[in-house]
Amino acid sequence: MFRSSILICGGTGCTSNHSQEIREEFIKELKEKNLENDVAVIGTGCFGLCAVGPVIIVYPEGAFYSGVTTADVKEIVEEHLIKGRLVERLLYVDKHANSHVKALSDTNFYKKQTRVALKNCGVIDPENIDEYIGCDGYQALIKVLTEMKPQEVIDVIKASGLRGRGGAGFPTGMKWQFAANQVNDTKYVCCNADEGDPGAFMDRSVLEGDPHAVLEAMAIAGYAIGSHQGYIYVRAEYPIAVQRLNVALKQAKEYGLLGKNILGTGFDFDLEIKLGSGAFVCGEETALMTSVEGHRGEPRPRPPFPAVKGLFGKPTILNNVETYANICQIILKGADWFSSMGTEKSKGTKVFALGGKITNTGLVEIPMGTTLRQVIEDIGGGVPNGKKFKAAQTGGPSGGCIPAVNFDVPIDYDNLISIGSMMGSGGMIVMDEDNCMVDIAKFFLEFTVDESCGKCTPCRIGTRRLLEYLDKITTGKATMQDLDDMEQLCYYIKANALCGLGQTAPNPVLSTLRYFRDEYEAHIKEHRCPAHVCKGLIQYKIDPEKCKGCSACSRKCPVGAITGEIKSPFTIDPMKCVKCGQCMATCKFGAIVKE
């Protein structure tokens, strides 16, 4: 038995900040101090607080150290592990209380979270199946194989109210029921781990921190619908997730939890990993299946729906990583336990990836019905630098912007749709007063245009026309008629595009038009970007009253647009200015302004 354990975040964020080197340094230092048999060093998945990584926790005290470097390792070993004194300077500082926090559970970031899908992330070693089993892992699979009939499993999932966490929120149990009802010797279970929304990393973190939860859930799904083969379609850009999935697959097969005659019950189920090549459209279920089959990822018309005719023309269910991450706990704890959380039509919890203008960047899991204000201010720590909250983008390129007027709207599937956004996979990008909402809409349209598969005209041509309208608006060349035509085109694309990518592509434009039309009109009528973001509509000017004639701005200008005499006010030639902002950043007297 170890007297202490050091848990080190091994998620992508902390790994990029050298957490693996920190782990190796701990092992080296403990060996030098003859403590290798007393203290365990364990790599885990993401703890959630990505903004302050690398993160480590030392048990049994639960000391939560943030921003750790390899240079801090020796001090932690000598002070904490040998002398029993916490290293105060490395303890996480909770900005709400403006004080050090000794335990992770004491932070405001975690107090209002309810971790279901993320239950084991940051808690166990994801590459050690024994640790997963020690946290009730594979107990749900044993229960369904030995105590439940396939229909009973489906009934529990239906009663729980679980809806798909990957996009539109279709009832999971209903999807499983449709596939189970099909009479066919061959059926498939698929996992969508191809999350491509900018700023989204929920599924990646589950796979990195708790891969066995997904494998176990997929085996349960296979039993429920009568399938013996599953596929996990995961982004090739997720190397850590892919590596841990491969380790988990190998371990599960060695333990007889996947493959032939699982646990001697006569049930066969195997899994295979398929790597995606970065196509956003393959997040759409039929395009994903086409890609798994070895073809170019393009969507297919529906009906028939995948539950009737999916992968290789056989009945197929497809759920995303987060959806599967809820299954085992629903089986073990019951439908009533899960449905007691959330709202009437949106049960359970939802994981969000908080990014953008937010103090606590990272992963959060909240009960459905939590308000945007609670997520951003209480959990996320608010907008930094004294700026005002302006909007939050949910659902990525398929979603919309939620303005400050809806700050207290409970977050669930139906409420988000009613205010012009959607849940999507769970990305939440926070914007402040310095963001231009027209520029935000343009950013997402550029992404969609690049990612369109080109199969249908409304998406291939329509989104490009939308982007052309936005280009005209942000450069001061548009008319009010262009604004009306653009809005009409949005509705045409939504009604006629083949798949969800095209049908939802206009959402960022429509939501910003709905809540921030005044910004569009300012761009068109006044040739002005209120947020001073759109380069085509801004000018840098020097206030002669404040300019000291130091020439610092002139020397920094890359194109020689600033001229003047020393100790006299300088001027900027707007015809030469490339609007890089270097002059404004250089001036120490606040003499340069954007207009």
CATH of the domain at 191: 3.40.50.11540
pLDDT band at 97 (very low <50, low <70, confident <90, very high): low
Q: Give me the percent of the chain exceeding a pLDDT of 70.
A: 99
Two tokens at 229? 């083969």
CA 23, distance to chain mean position in Å, is 26
Flag whether pLDDT at 272 surpasses 70. Answer: yes
8 A C-beta contact, residue 397 and residue 167? no
Average pLDDT over residues 10-24: 95
Asked if 231 and 253 sit in the same domain, the reply is yes
The sign of the torsion formed by the CA atoms of 321, 324, 330, 335 equals positive
Query: How many CA atoms within 13 Å lie on the side-chain side of 47?
Result: 28
Asked if 306 and 356 sit in the same domain, the reply is no
Average pLDDT over residues 1-11: 93
Asked if 198 and 153 sit in the same domain, the reply is yes
Rg, the chain, Cα only:
27
Measure the CA–CA gap between 484 and 488, rounded to whole angstroms. 6
- In terms of Cβ atoms closer than 10 Å to its own Cβ (0-12, 13-18, 19+), residue 45 is buried
Asked if 154 and 203 sit in the same domain, the reply is yes
Average pLDDT over residues 276-280: 86
Convert the pLDDT of each residue in 133-161 to its tens digit: 999 999 999 999 999 999 999 999 999 99
8 A C-beta contact, residue 56 and residue 8? yes
The pTM (predicted TM-score) of the whole model is 0.92
Residue 559: what pLDDT?
94
Flag whether pLDDT at 350 surpasses 70. Answer: yes
Residue 243: what pLDDT?
97
Give me the DSSP letters along 314-330: S-EEEEEHHHHHHHHHH
Does residue 115 fall inside a structural domain? no
Residue 501: what pLDDT?
87
8 A C-beta contact, residue 538 and residue 573? no
Average pLDDT over residues 92-102: 72
- Greatest distance between any 2 Cα atoms in the chain: 89
8 A C-beta contact, residue 222 and residue 129? no
Asked if 238 and 155 sit in the same domain, the reply is yes
8 A C-beta contact, residue 116 and residue 329? yes
CATH of the domain at 378: 3.10.20.600
Domain finish residue from 410, 432, 454: 432
Domain finish residue from 478, 501, 525: 525
Task: Give the neighbor-by-neighbor strand order of the sheet with 188-193.
Answer: 270-276, 229-235, 188-193, 316-320
Asked if 253 and 155 sit in the same domain, the reply is yes
Average pLDDT over residues 178-194: 96
8 A C-beta contact, residue 451 and residue 460? no
Domain finish residue from 380, 406, 432: 432
Amino acid sitting at position 125: D
Task: Pick the range with the lowest mean pLDDT from 216-230, 235-249, 274-288, 481-495.
Answer: 274-288
Asked if 292 and 421 sit in the same domain, the reply is no
Asked if 417 and 369 sit in the same domain, the reply is yes
Residue 98: what pLDDT?
62
Asked if 571 and 521 sit in the same domain, the reply is no
CATH of the domain at 64: 3.40.30.10
Does residue 421 fall inside a structural domain? yes
Task: Say how many domains are in the chain.
Answer: 5
Does residue 118 fall inside a structural domain? no
Flag whether pLDDT at 107 surpasses 90. Answer: no
Helices marked H in 497-541:
500-504, 507-525
Helices (H) and strands (E) in the chain, counts: 24, 19
Flag whether pLDDT at 517 surpasses 70. Answer: yes
Asked if 102 and 231 sit in the same domain, the reply is no
Give the residue numbers spanning the domain of 465. Answer: 437-525
Measure the CA–CA gap between 44 and 128, rounded to whole angstroms. 10
Does residue 119 fall inside a structural domain? no
Does residue 116 fall inside a structural domain? no
Flag whether pLDDT at 96 surpasses 80. Answer: no
Helices marked H in 102-210:
108-111, 129-134, 139-147, 150-160, 172-180, 202-209
pLDDT band at 102 (very low <50, low <70, confident <90, very high): confident
Reduced to 3 states, what is the DSSP secondary structure of residue 392? Answer: strand
Beta-carbon count within 10 A of 86 CB: 17
Q: What is the mean pLDDT of the chain?
A: 94
According to DSSP, residue 508 is labeled H
Asked if 324 and 370 sit in the same domain, the reply is no
Does residue 114 fall inside a structural domain? no
The sign of the torsion formed by the CA atoms of 405, 410, 416, 418 equals negative
In terms of Cα–Cα distance, which of 396, 392, 394 is closest to 417? 394
Does residue 121 fall inside a structural domain? no
Residue 196: what pLDDT?
80
Asked if 220 and 328 sit in the same domain, the reply is yes
Two tokens at 142? 């044993």
Convert the pLDDT of each residue in 421-457 to its tens digit: 888 878 899 999 999 999 999 999 999 999 899 999 9
Does residue 122 fall inside a structural domain? no
Measure the CA–CA gap between 192 and 194, rounded to whole angstroms. 6
Flag whether pLDDT at 104 surpasses 90. Answer: no
Flag whether pLDDT at 99 surpasses 80. Answer: no
